[in-house]
Amino acid sequence: MIQEFEQVVLTVDLPQYGLLAGDVGTVADIHPSGKAYEVEIFRGDGSTYDVVTVQEGQIRPATKNEVTHARAITPVETTPQR
């Protein structure tokens, strides 16, 4: 089971947020049902890019045998801060 503050990887593209499968985030909150999560996505400088709600099938735990990858986001992909 995925835990709060755990690093997770998106398993699907979320174009409405400018996010792609493989993007990494941190679980900020778990919904009471345990089937949805609030995941915080960070920019390279450590600032928050967005906090998105995802369903359990849209993320998986990150593993120690993976490396993160940087990619540029364009203004079209940038979502407003909440």
Q: What range does the domain containing 50 cover? A: 1-82
Can you name the residues that pair with 64 across neighbouring β-strands? Answer: none
pLDDT of residue 79: 52
- Write the CATH number for 29: 2.30.30.30
pLDDT of residue 75: 54
Which of 33, 38, 34, 36 is closest to 52 using CA atoms?
Answer: 38
pTM: 0.87
Instruction: Going residue by residue through the chain, which has 82 residues, state the pLDDT in tens, using 9 for 90 and above.
Output: 899 999 999 999 999 999 999 999 999 999 999 999 999 999 999 999 999 999 999 999 999 999 999 999 875 444 555 5
The tally of domains found in the chain comes to 1
Per-position DSSP letters for 2-40, written without gaps between them: --TT-EEEESS-BGGGTB-TT-EEEEEEE-TTSSEEEEE
